[in-house]
Amino acid sequence: MSGADAGPGPATQPVDGPLDCPACGESAAPGSRFCEGCGTPLRTAAQVPLVIDPDPPAAESGSGPGSGTTAPTAPASDPATAARPCVRCGGAVADDGYCTECGEPAASERDHWSEIPATWVAGVCDRGIRHSRNEDAMALHASADAGATGFAALVVCDGVSAAPDSDVASLAAATAARDALARGGPGGAEPVTGTLSARMGSWSALVASSSQVANDAILATVGEMADRDNPPSCTFVAAVVDGPLVVVGWVGDSRVYWVPDDGDARQLSVDDSWAQEMIAQGIPRADAENAPQAHAITRWLGPDAPDPAARTAATVPEGPGWVLVCSDGLWNYCSPADDMATLVRATQEAVGTQPGANGPDPADLAGALVRWANAQGGRDNITVALARFAPAAGTPDENASASTR
């Protein structure tokens, strides 16, 4: 980039120097091509088209392939045509489809992307190593501020590998469900309001219906593929954070974990899987999950879905922590909630906190967890979405935990 010889530490951004990171806000060192914090490619002021947007959306949904219905953010380069830098080393990718530095094949936007709708909510969706395509999908939404009025909706769908074109189904499902949930958020078409218990009920209903919306979106998207013997299909998991409240819903074996900074972690979702049925019958978890048919899911979304309504659970967690939404590409390597908590805390320790930030950066953490899963072998697509849960000081009036499952 041309700003390499800009003076050190300018107080204001030079026109030809790199802008602050569009993804995480980290200030950019002169001459740097990639964000120190999250690795997002940086552009110089001269390169960013001047977009006058008097009323930018409070929550934007990143640059992922699922952002079609929301306004794309200014720094999002055109994913279809722009040559993205190498995902492994940041080098330039040649026309022949491989990195000019390390030889890594070019990743398509669908193979690897991040969404950072707010500083406290982020996710990374990655193809992994073994699979030739990324059939996972995610869609995130968040209000700018966390805390008592913070709102986030995180949706992850894992396409069924055995059914061709499930990557199409999962992306359609995640995007539709995220948009349906956003309608209930502040500023949405039908904001959820009322007491904590009233909101708990409303959100549980909305989460259950969002998976039906997702299912309808799959049917609309796959068209004639629905008539196949093995039509495109996917799992579904969603987590809504509404102030002190967390409501989750699922169809299949993608998961939500609650990982508090202190205390015991919990898996908030309950897999719809053969393994879970065995565990329910008293088979030890390790045995059940390592059986060959462990991953057979008993419920899914798609044209042949037995029951597309998500089962839900609502909770009011105590103290700060992480709401972690993930596909089995992560949890396969770290299934028990305690192990997951250990992993998240150790990873958080390794990633550290950016100077000036209030807490650990979810984008850094999600990226590090995806890298960890790839380091374990990356046998499946990996999606990790995180919301930093930090209720405002002072406990809410109704400090109850309830489950409707």
* Residues of the shown chain interacting with another protein in the complex, contacts defined by CB under 8 A: 89, 91, 94, 96, 98-105, 128-131, 374, 377-379
Question: Which CB sits closer to another protein, 131 or 228?
Answer: 131
Q: Report phi then psi at 59, rounded to 5.
A: -120, 125
Residues 6+ apart with CB under 8 A from 82: none
Placement of tokens 């190498």 in the chain: 86
Integer distance in angstroms from the first to the last C-alpha of the chain?
54
**Partners of 151 in the β-ladder:** 242
Q: Please tell me the distance from the alpha carbon of residue 107 to that of residue 263, in angstroms, as a whole number.
A: 39
Of residues 65, 76, 136, the one with CA closest to residue 325 = 136
Question: Rounded to 5 degrees, what are φ and ψ at 205?
Answer: -65, -40
Strand order in the sheet with 266-267: 112-118, 121-126, 382-389, 321-326, 255-260, 266-267
Query: How near is the Cβ of 39 to another protein at its closest, in Å?
Result: 17
Tokens found for residue 354:
């950016």
Shortest distance in whole angstroms from residue 103 CB to another protein: 4
Torsion of Cα atoms, 354 then 83 then 113 then 184, to 10°: 100
* Residue with smaller CB distance to another protein, 104 or 261: 104
Q: Return the bridge partners of 115, or none.
A: 123
* 121 DSSP β-pair partners: 118, 387
Dist. CA 305–CA 299, nearest whole Å: 7
Read off the amino acid at residue 210. S
Structure tokens, 312: 């839900």
CB of 63 to another protein, least distance (A): 25
Q: How far is the CB of 395 from another protein (least distance, A)?
A: 47
Per the listing, tokens 């393994």 go with 275
Residue 166 CB, shortest distance to another protein, in Å, is 19
Least gap, CB of 98 to another protein (angstroms): 4
Closer by beta carbon to another protein, 79 or else 91:
91
Tell me the one-letter amino acid at 367: G
The residue among 37 and 39 lying less far from another protein, judged by its C-beta, is: 39
Nearer to another protein, 136 or 272 (CB): 136
* Cα–Cα distance, 133 to 400 (Å, whole number): 43
Smallest gap from Cβ 95 to another protein, in A, equals 10
Q: What's the min distance (Å) between Cβ of 136 and another protein?
A: 16
Least Cβ distance, residue 355 to another protein (angstroms): 30
Task: Tell me, rounded to whole angstroms, the distance of Cα 4 from its chain centroid.
Answer: 34
Phi, psi of 259 (to 5 degrees): -120, 95
Nearer to another protein, 181 or 368 (CB): 368
Q: Which one, 129 or 226, has the nearer CB to another protein?
A: 129
91/260 with CB nearer another protein: 91
Q: How far is the CB of 376 from another protein (least distance, A)?
A: 9
- Residue 42 CB coordination number (10 Å): 25
Measured CA distances, 25 to 22, 30, 140 (Å):
6, 15, 18
Indicate the helix (H) or strand (E) that contains 176: helix 166-182
Q: Between residues 105 and 186, which has the closer beta carbon with respect to another protein?
A: 105
- Cβ proximity to another protein: between 375 and 400 the closer is 375
Q: How far is the CB of 88 from another protein (least distance, A)?
A: 9
Nearer to another protein, 117 or 128 (CB): 128
